[in-house]
Amino acid sequence: MTDSIRKSSELSRRALVATAGAASLAASLPRVAAAQQPHPNPMPEEIRKVLERNPGLPVLGNPNGNITLSEFFDYNCTFCRRNMKDVQRLITGDDQLRVVFREWPVFGDGSMFAAQASLASLKQGKYWQFHSDMMEMNGRAEEATVLRSARNVGLDIDKLRADMEAPEIIEQIYESMDLADTMSLSGTPTFIAGHEAAFGLMSLDDLRSLVAKAREDLL
């Protein structure tokens, strides 16, 4: 990473942390337990805006849907790979669902390379094809296997490599890292909808319940 990208990323990180600190978000997204009030830990709207509405986010499903489901994932996360098909089924079966993907590379350099390539694939209009191929691969996501997936879906490799180093892509990844830290997320995959977060392998019914609860709370 160049010094200019580092500086830009650090500014983004500090700004987000400052906003989060002002909103007291350390405990904003645990599962809602039995309590006297409907939402003991509601998500502040300024954080929801950052989480769901960054214009650089990959968005699947209905971009104007009435509920957003956010997934924090890593291409080297086994449970993330296992969840991919059910996420796809969830999108197919809910025409009012908006899904955003947050690349959170927690499993080393290969994961970071994969996250950068994934976001760069947006510039060639092939994010979902690339994402699906990556989630279906055998073995670790690292430079060689990531580029193999890129070729599989017809991405221009030279353009992909150049776009991977764009400051906005690095900033997007750091923003996801900061959000995960601010909200004390446990790891990947984590799904967030409404005021609730769920960590770990999720069934299709689990995902539907999470989205249904968000609709009940927010609409």
Q: Which fold has domain 42-218?
A: Glutaredoxin (3.40.30)
Model pLDDT, residue 219: 87
Model pLDDT, residue 6: 35
For 89-102, the DSSP string reads: HHHHT-TTEEEEEE
Residue 103 has pLDDT above 60, yes or no: yes
Q: With cut-offs at 50, 70 and 90, classify the pLDDT of residue 84.
A: very high
Residue 88 has pLDDT above 70, yes or no: yes
Model pLDDT, residue 42: 86
Model pLDDT, residue 38: 62
Place of tokens 């991405």: 155
Q: How far is CA 125 from CA 27, 65, 79, 90, 204, in A?
A: 36, 21, 26, 22, 27
Reading the block at residue 192, the tokens are: 């967030």
Residue 18 has pLDDT above 90, yes or no: no
Which 8-state DSSP code applies to residue 125? T
Q: For residue 207, which of 91, 101, 127 has the smallest C-alpha distance?
A: 91
Amino acid at 156: D
Per residue in 39-66, pLDDT (tens digit) is: 767 889 999 999 999 999 999 999 999 9
Rounded Cα gap, residues 158 and 134, in angstroms: 19
The fraction of the chain above a pLDDT of 70, given in percent, is 82
Residue 104 in contact with residue 74, Cβ under 8 Å? yes
Strands 190-193 and 97-103: unpaired
Query: Stretch 178-182: mean pLDDT, rounded?
Result: 94
Strands 196-199 and 190-193: antiparallel
Per residue in 185-202, pLDDT (tens digit) is: 999 999 999 999 999 999
Is the bond preceding 38 in cis, omega lying within 30 degrees of 0? no
> Which pTM was predicted?
0.82
Model pLDDT, residue 14: 31
Tally of helices (H runs) and strands (E runs) in the chain:
9, 5
Q: For residue 114, which of 167, 187, 13, 106 has the smallest C-alpha distance?
A: 106
Residue 25 has pLDDT above 60, yes or no: no
State the average pLDDT for the chain: 85
